[in-house]
Amino acid sequence: MGREMALRFARLGAKVVCVDINPQSNEETYNMITSELGYAFKYVCDVTDRAAVMALAEKVRKDVGDVDILVNNAGIMPCKPFLQQTEKEIRLMMDINVNANIWLIQAFLPAMVERNHGHIVAMSSMAGLMGLRNLVPYCGSKYAVRGIMESLAIELRSEPRDTSGIKFTTICPYIVNTGLCKKPRIRFQSLMKVIEAGDAADIIVDAVLRDLLEITIPTRLYYSNRFGYRLLPLTAAAIFLDFFDTGVEAHDD
C-alpha cells in the first residue's frame, strides 16, 4: 500500500521520499516512480531505531528540503491467539507499529511547527476501532496509533505558535490485499470484501488532499462503527460481531 500511495503522490507532482528497511523493495518503488518521470529519493532506514530516524530526517532536509507530508505506513500483523504470541513478536510489532510513528513524528514535526505547514498521515486499522480475535496485540498497537494522532492534534492547539497549518489524517482500513492478512474470514462477501491496495491508496490520497481527520476504508464502516456498533451494549456488540463473523484466521508468517 505504501508503494501505491507513493506512485499516486508522485503523479500529483510531489517529490516522493521512499524509506524502507528493505533496499530491494525500496529500489523497485523508486524505479517505478522515476520510470513515470516522477521525482523520487530513496533511503534505507530501520524506523524502529530512533537515532537512525533522526539521522534520516537531517539527511532528507539537506537532500530534499522540508517534508510537507509524512506518511507513517510501516506495520506488521502477527495473526494468532494471544497466548501463542511470543515476547519477541509482540515487542517487534510494537516497535514497528507504534514506536516508529513516534520517532518519525518527533523527527519531522519540529520543522512543520516552525513553518506552520505540514500533514501527518498514520495507518491505524479497523482493528484500532474494535477488538478482533487472533489480533490482540495488533489491536492494541492500532488503538495506540489513533490515540497518538488524536492527542497530538489536541496538544498542538495549545501550542503558543500558530499551528493551524498542520493537518492530521488517521487511516483505518479493513482487510487490504497487502500480504499481511493471509487468511481473511469474511461471512458476507457482498458487503465486506478484501480491498485491493491500489483502491485503498486512491481513498487515502483523496483523504489527505481533503484534510480529513480520520477515515475508514471502506468509508461506510466509519459510520456503522461510530453510530452503530459503539452505541450497542457489550452483549449486543458481541452478537453483532458473531453475526458478521469478519476477521482473520490464525496463521504463521
Catalytically active residues are 138
In the three-class reduction of DSSP (H, G, I as helix; E, B as strand; rest coil), residue 14 is classed as coil
CA atoms within 13 A on the CB side of 205: 20
**How would you classify the pairing of strands 247-248 and 184-185?**
antiparallel
Q: How many CB atoms lie within 10 A of CB 209?
A: 13
**Residue type at position 240:** F
Q: How many CB atoms lie within 10 A of CB 8?
A: 18
Residue 198, CA distances (Å) to 156, 172, 174, 195 in order: 32, 15, 14, 8
Residues in the chain: 253
Q: How many CB atoms lie within 10 A of CB 155?
A: 10
Which residue, among 217, 230, 218, 216, has the nearest Cα to 130 in the 3D structure?
A: 230
Q: Hey, what's the cell of 48?
A: 524502529
C-alpha span between 22 and 44 (Å, rounded): 7
